[in-house]
Amino acid sequence: MKRVLDKVAIVTGGASGLGEAIARCLVTEGATVIITDLQVSRGQRLANELKCKFIEQDVADEHQWETVIRDVDGTYGRLNILVNNAGIEGSSDTNPETTTLSDWQRVQRVNVEGTFLGCRAAIPAMRRTGGGSIINISSIASVIPTPHVTAYGASKAAVRHVTKSVAMHGAKAGAKIRCNSVHPGVIRTPMVERISEGLAKNSSSSREEVMREDENSVPQGEYQEPEDIAYAVLFLASDEARHITGAQLVVDGGITMNG
């Protein structure tokens, strides 16, 4: 079943990790996908494989957002789906005492400002063609304390709040624009491996031991896969979710149930 057939979708940070899984899933389900990323060679290879378009983009640059939306509008005449996936974790194992202001600002710039700019740029484009769906990738770090990655947790909490504000605006303005957030748990991606490596440096454990401990903390007993997040995004992007807006969809194997 082609659940997003003929819809035009932008996936930021789509060259690898979660973004790659999301792009693959949307293409499989019938969408025309535009992948954006700073990883040019990797992004272009994936776009060639999936027979879709790649655009180099720094999501924290508002002028680049204008260029991307103008390009998509000019090429396809519409934008139906935006997945704000691009994000960084910042320096590993930095607590509220050791996080530098420069690291804090760098993480907020990409994760929060990049998401805000994406939403702001997409709203007029979606309104012109009758609405659309914005999906912001947050994290369970938005709802539980993250003293070891302070800047990251704060940024993802901000993404959660921006999502609800955009959702209310889209609903009250009659624009038929939905906005929801997806909150992954522990997934074996390059980002999680980097965080685990940082934690291992300040302990007697190896990176693999840190990751096994994380995996054992999941009530379902295993990591989530990138595809698990991609299917959550697919649902929110599809017309099946046409009355769902302002929601936070947690995909974490039960971690947040631990309190």
Q: What is the mean pLDDT of each run of 10 residues along the chain (259 residues)?
A: 95 97 98 98 98 98 98 97 96 87 97 98 97 98 92 97 98 96 86 70 74 79 91 98 98 86
Beta strands in the chain (DSSP E): 8-12, 32-37, 53-56, 81-84, 132-137, 177-184, 248-251
Which of these is catalytic: 76, 152, 223, 231? 152
Every domain range in the chain assigned CATH 3.40.50.720: 8-185+226-250
**Residue 152 designated active-site:** yes
Q: Is 131 helix (H, G, I), strand (E, B) or coil?
A: coil
Residues 50, 172: Cα–Cα separation, whole Å: 37
Look up the pTM and report it. Answer: 0.92
Name the CATH architecture for the domain at 8-185+226-250: 3-Layer(aba) Sandwich (3.40)
In this predicted structure, what is the pLDDT of residue 217? 77
In the chain, count H helices and then E strands.
9, 7
Can you tell me the distance from the alpha carbon of 235 to that of 22, in angstroms, rounded to the nearest whole number?
Answer: 11
